[in-house]
Chains A and B, each alone.
Chain A
């Protein structure tokens, strides 16, 4: 198969957009509900197919560069929207998440990467895929949690409140925390095998630890029955720490010493 990212990305965005549009029309015309759902799912399937073909083409898992992780993000993030709709019957989140996924694909179209088939020996490890994938899924859940929290915060500004929406942001944060914990420990176990020590306070590790602490703090504050409406602010802002960890580390003065920064090329 010929490698063509732009076609796949445009196709996925087209599916998500028409699917979303049909979902809105389906409010009036229920018969369109099924095609609408199939179209939104097809968008995600397209991205997964692309990742698979890209994997085969590269002959290594496409998890090495920042652009490659954005690809996974685009594939996974709408799934959380579908999950929330399925379990908590909150439908609007998936639109927001599909829009973000589309945004990630557009970034990748604007910044095509020079791809490189080689994978340095330290990354050739059975830990590589679980570690990165667990982290990606964790980030996706926490991202969705923060979108939900921003929604709750804005409701509060209008003196409104939605208990179910508050429990959604909480549970997404909880699941995200579980995955961050696994990611952190998998990373430590892998580092021991590849670099000799499980923890070296490398900048990337330090920021991952900070992110984990932020959500650990959230869970305990929540247990302590601090006003849960106020904690929505906390969740909404915690994501900033996570973003620094994910993108920002490359730009910090301490980054020059990091072994884990995603390569830029």
Chain B
């Protein structure tokens, strides 16, 4: 039997038709982006985006079920087109992974083609829409009629469909705002990246107290000539506490005494003080080629200057420890009379009336003495849907893993 090579567009369609189709879609996307002078896809908000998405899902699934025997439909929902679209998404993401996604001069070519905001550009949107169509068709054939053996397939593909579509369609409804709240005051103003003017939030935050916990201070032997600290022999930066020793080439330092919170006393000797006022003091002995030196050094604060000790041409410094934890004690309340007292900490956001509140920052210059706290507030009504998708993918993943490790040989 002679096996003639299949000509382009002679059914059944496969990779060549798929790559052509995908390339046309991506190029059309770039042309649309250019024609719109670099403005990305218009943003639709609830409920219209949800309506559109639901309509799209129903259309794809019912078209898949209705035309399941047509070879064109099989191609549209098949793996070859899926692979080409995955490749296109990868390529567009690659642009996003290499070109910095930051504002560039309007009217320049990258801006006109949307290369600097690829994930909200027309080519990306078109590719994702086609991808969702392709994935949805393949899904429709496994959903109807439902069989338990298809569960793994359904969890993976439906999970990804839901997470991707809700993540992208829901993006315009995501609100991320930043609040700056002073200690002992209340605020209901949120600032966004997009505009200078603040937005009135549907709740307000009262900051009782901001506090910051630090790691112990660190010792540095500083070379004023090079402007660099020298590296310790142990390759570690020493955290200061009583009895600790640190060594550099030709210089040894021992911490004889350490007071985490202290103020300078009458004759230069520090005295323990309370945490709000005091700074860290350490009494050190420096041994080097010259005679040993003993003295107090301190970290300083916005109000107090630090003490250092000279060591030949070098200077021994103690710097404030890096932040270990910082938290804000707040009361959040709204017009409806809902009120919560809570502690905000990094990695421990709180939820209030559909909003999530995050500890974000503080006055970096003042550190522990910061008079305000910076709080990020986020409203994302689509989050439960995206998480549903995530958990379906993870469930599919477990099944896949289980079936994967059971087999040894590849069935061909």
Taking beta carbons and an 8 Å cutoff, which residues of A are in contact with B? 87-88, 112-122, 124-125, 163-164, 166-167, 170-171, 174-175, 178, 181-182, 185, 188-189, 192-194, 196-199, 201, 203, 206-207, 209-210, 213-214, 216-217, 220-221, 223-224, 228, 252-254, 256-257
Nearest 6 pairs between A and B by C-beta? A121-B346, A206-B97, A167-B410, A224-B79, A125-B347, A178-B401
B86 at the interface (CB under 8 A from A): yes
Q: A175-B401, A201-B119 are in contact. Are A116 and B237 (CB under 8 A)?
A: yes
Complex Cα gap A201–B92 (Å)? 12
Seen from chain B, the residues whose Cβ lies within 8 Å of a Cβ on chain A are: 79-80, 82-83, 86-87, 89-90, 93-94, 96-102, 119, 167, 174, 176, 215, 231, 235-237, 239, 321-326, 345-349, 356, 358, 360, 376, 378, 380, 383, 386-387, 390, 393-394, 397, 400-401, 404-405, 407-410, 412
Q: Measured between alpha carbons, how far is A119 from B321 in the docked complex, in Å? A: 11
B393/A181 in contact, CB under 8 A: yes
Main secondary structure of the interface of B (DSSP, over half): mixed
A35 to chain B, nearest CB (A): 29
Task: Give CA–CA (A139, B98) in the complex, Å.
Answer: 22
Sample (18) of A-B pairs whose CB atoms are under 8 Å apart: A113-B235, A117-B215, A118-B215, A121-B346, A122-B347, A171-B408, A175-B404, A178-B401, A182-B397, A189-B390, A194-B346, A194-B347, A197-B176, A206-B96, A220-B83, A223-B79, A252-B98, A254-B100
Extra contacts besides A170-B410, A253-B99 (20): CB < 8 Å: A114-B237, A118-B215, A121-B325, A125-B347, A163-B409, A163-B410, A167-B408, A171-B408, A178-B404, A181-B394, A188-B390, A194-B347, A196-B360, A210-B90, A217-B87, A221-B79, A221-B83, A228-B410, A252-B97, A254-B100
Q: Is the CB of A121 within 8 A of B323?
A: yes
Q: Are B390 and A118 in contact (CB under 8 A)?
A: no
The chain B residue with its CB closest to the CB of A221 is B83
Q: Is the interface of A mostly helix, strand, loop or mixed?
A: helix
**Whole-angstrom CA separation of A20 from B393 in the bound complex:** 41
- Best-surrounded residue of A112, A117, A171 (most CB of chain B within 10 A): A117
